[in-house]
Amino acid sequence: MGRLVLHRLAATVPVLLLVTAGVFALLHLTPGDPIDTMMAESADPAVKAHLRRELGLDRPIPVQYLQWMARVVRGDLGRSIRNGEPVIENVSRRLRPSLQLALLAMTVSLLVAFPLGIVSAVRRNTAADRAGTTFALFGICMPNFLLALLLIFVFGVTLRWLPISGYVDPLEEGWDGLRSLVLPACTLGLALAAVITRTLRSSLLEALGEDYVRTARAKGVSEWGVIGGHVLKNAMIPVVTVLGLQLGTLIGGAVITEYVFALPGVGRLVVDAVFARDYPLVQGVILLIAVGFIACNLVVDLLYGWLDPRIRIR
């Protein structure tokens, strides 16, 4: 297992280099200039030229990239062009809401998907199975922004049970903070639950046809004992794969949901930085999101070995 971890960590180096180089090139090829965005078009050209030199934007793009990478190796992601604050401080303020939203959305998805997926597989071609597959199809096809608006209308406007926008830290305000995250978490969690339900159902149906299941049933093990003791663990590898990928997406990719509910998260931060042509901030956020994805994939690889000893032995 230790060799697996070292191998995966070594493989992350070229991945991070490719991601950062690609983002760096795309940012500089995008039309627009951060200096023009910061200053009026009628500003003194000499002032613009001086500011461009101060920020290092007058150097060739490969030189800028190498200088930025040299700072990253030392743990310095640079300073935001907009406000002059370190990128780490900008991201740290926005990371907590995104992490809280991602974890709560993941909890919602698991609480919904596992009962539906298991019941749909065990009660195949029954009303329960049709209800589960209908939910999965509905959740996959429904756009996030439309589901968000529907939840806002029902639970925020009509019933007035939950706030429709804004963020309160649950670690500081407790229940009021959780209430501010319920609707966005349900928006993301129900969409993810649809994918997990479909994946879990398919994986369970495949596992239920294996020989060891017939052997367990022949020994008199109850149906739910077969599911919980034998089938579920063997059917979890595809589900773990989906969960690992989606967790990284939830942390950095919940842009639309954060905008709809006015949440100060990382996704909203990076979009605002792109519009402002804030190169250091965009590059720093993308780098941290890439590291998050890699960490999620590493955890998934370790879970593979725990779920299936054959993978660990290989």
- Residue 298: C-alpha distances to residues 1, 129, 137, 254, 304 (Å): 11, 34, 30, 22, 10
Assigned architecture for domain 95-313: Orthogonal Bundle (1.10)
* Tens of pLDDT, residues 261-306: 888 888 788 888 888 788 888 888 888 888 877 877 777 777 777 7
More confident residue, 299 or 158: 158
257 pLDDT more than 80:
yes
3-state helix, strand, coil in the chain (%, to 5): 80, 0, 20
The pTM of the full predicted model, rounded to 2 decimals, is 0.80
Cα–Cα distance for residue pair 126/119, rounded to 1 Å = 10
pLDDT band at 29 (very low <50, low <70, confident <90, very high): confident
Cα-to-chain-centroid distance, residue 30: 25
Q: Which residues neighbour 290 within 8 Å (Cβ) at sequence distance 6 or greater? A: 15, 16, 19, 20
Q: Are 71 and 77 in contact (CB under 8 A)?
A: yes
Q: Are 177 and 169 in contact (CB under 8 A)?
A: yes
Cα–Cα distance for residue pair 48/33, rounded to 1 Å = 11
